[in-house]
Amino acid sequence: MPVKSRTPYANSFAMALPDREISNDELSTFIDTSDEWISKRTGIKKRYWVSEGTTTSSLAVEAASKSIDQLSNGTQIDAIIAATLSPDYSFPGIGVQIQDALGLPPVPAYDVRNQCSGFLYAMEMGGALISTGVYENILIVGAEVHSTGMDKTTRGRDIAVLFGDGAGSCILSHGKRSGLSFELVGTELHSDGAYAKELWCEHPGSVLFPDRLTEELVREGKVFPEMNGRLVFENAVRHMTEVSLSLLAKHGYGSSDVSLFLPHQANLRINTMVAQKLGLNESQVFSTIQDYGNTTAATIPIGFTRAVEEGAFTSGDLVLSAAFGSGFTWGAALYRVV
Ligand SMILES: CC(C)(COP(=O)(O)OP(=O)(O)OC[C@H]1O[C@@H](n2cnc3c(N)ncnc32)[C@H](O)[C@@H]1OP(=O)(O)O)[C@@H](O)C(=O)NCCC(=O)NCCS
């Protein structure tokens, strides 16, 4: 780890959503499912799906523009870190598209692909680059379009009901900006690739020879995400709890010091169980899953944006964030509101 010399602050959270709202009842018109099943098992009531012409990078750019608009005139973005599992193209990643669409100078554009932990991975990397003085202001974006990559038939219902499209962003800087700022107190990240196949999208990829994609794979639905839901659920609860306690302890805190828990949004029951294990009460958990479903790398910045809008933060609050997802990857971040 580099020697920490400057404190990173997350400023100017913003979000973007596609225009098509899909309720559980609407899903039930083309998938054998029900509002009752989805609400009871996941907490999700609706999600937003793109229409033609909206892409992961266009959502990312919309959110990022709102973040940049909140900065004072003359503030330069020195780098971009973009997290997504659903880029517009196989390559290049969306970082360069964001750079171009925003009309930024030729700053570096990192692409992070750690799925539901992507935003936390981006924040740890950005935090290190700010604290070591490499950059002054880094645009961090998490964005996804899931709706065009899922099996939206009954065959894929375990996945299709869970995911939504959207984007969230912030500017990580070495100083506080106007409005609420979030001092990045610390992060802790993990991975365990032994579980890679428990939540994955197998094809197309370079594992196949001589061609990555065949008609048969498409017919068999092998181009859609697959998940061992129960195993993911159990591991999410265990790892999000453990990493939260570990990160808090590293910084001399316990869970009783936490004001607000703003976790990744995969399932309301996962977050309720983690909060219970941490000894937090329901009112300390910030949830957006009911409105957006799981937007993967975008859930946490969307959560921050909504929480700012709703006045959920008070200066001095200690905010805990945690995530778990495909990889498996997981982690936590701790912020102080200033
Ligand atoms: C996916 C998840 C909601 C499923 O909940 P569950 O309680 O484990 O449900 P199961 O998978 O055991 O399925 C129970 C039944 O509901 C059915 N079912 C599955 N999806 C359904 C749907 N969308 N609508 C209606 N019924 C459904 C199953 O076929 C099964 O039927 P059966 O009992 O007749 O076999 C849950 O496992 C989960 O949230 N896992 C973690 C997901 C996650 O976090 N993913 C992303 C990580 S970032």
Clarify whether 264 is annotated catalytic: yes
Kindly report, residue by residue over 252-270, the tens digit of the pLDDT. 999 999 999 999 999 999 9
Mean pLDDT lowest among 10-19, 70-79, 228-237, 318-327 = 70-79
Q: Which domain holds residue 57?
A: 9-173
Residue 5 confidence (pLDDT): 82
Mean pLDDT lowest among 123-137, 173-187, 213-227 = 173-187
Q: Is 191 in the pocket of ligand 1 (CB under 6 A)?
A: no
Do 238 and 169 share a domain, yes or no? no
1 is a domain residue: no
Residue among 183, 177, 184 at smallest CA distance from 67: 177
Collapsed DSSP state (helix, strand, coil) of residue 11: strand
- Cα 126 to Cα 189: distance, rounded to the nearest angstrom: 14
Q: How far is ligand 1, taken at its centre, from the CA of residue 130, in Å?
A: 41
Query: b/e string for 301-316 if b means 16 or more Cβ within 10 A?
Result: bbbbbbbbeeebbeee
| CATH number, domain containing residue 186 | 3.40.47.10
Q: Give the global pTM.
A: 0.96
Residue 4 confidence (pLDDT): 56
Residue 92 confidence (pLDDT): 98
The answer, yes or no, to whether residue 192 has pLDDT greater than 70, is yes
108 is a domain residue: yes
Do 164 and 210 share a domain, yes or no? no
Residue 273 confidence (pLDDT): 98
Kindly report, residue by residue over 95-120, the tens digit of the pLDDT. 999 999 999 999 999 999 999 999 99
Decide which of 123, 155, 173 is a domain's last residue: 173
pLDDT band at 177, cuts 50/70/90? confident
Do 141 and 269 share a domain, yes or no? no
Average pLDDT over all residues of the chain? 96
Which residue out of 230, 265, 268, 330 has the highest number of ligand 1 atoms within 8 Å of its CB and is therefore the one to mutate? Answer: 230
Q: In this structure, which residue's CA is closest to atom 19 in ligand 1?
A: 158
Residue 136 confidence (pLDDT): 95
Decide which of 111, 141, 173 is a domain's last residue: 173
Half-sphere exposure of 164 (CA within 13 A, CB side): 32
Do 123 and 233 share a domain, yes or no? no
Do 197 and 154 share a domain, yes or no? no
Q: Is 146 in the pocket of ligand 1 (CB under 6 A)?
A: no
309 is a domain residue: yes
- Cα 266 to Cα 282: distance, rounded to the nearest angstrom: 17
Mean pLDDT lowest among 172-186, 298-312, 314-328 = 172-186
- Cα 326 to Cα 337: distance, rounded to the nearest angstrom: 30
Element (H, E) at 305: helix 299-309
Number of domains making up the chain: 2
Residue 3 confidence (pLDDT): 57
Do 209 and 113 share a domain, yes or no? no
Amino acid at 279: G
Q: In this structure, which residue's CA is closest to atom 48 in ligand 1?
A: 325
Do 166 and 189 share a domain, yes or no? no
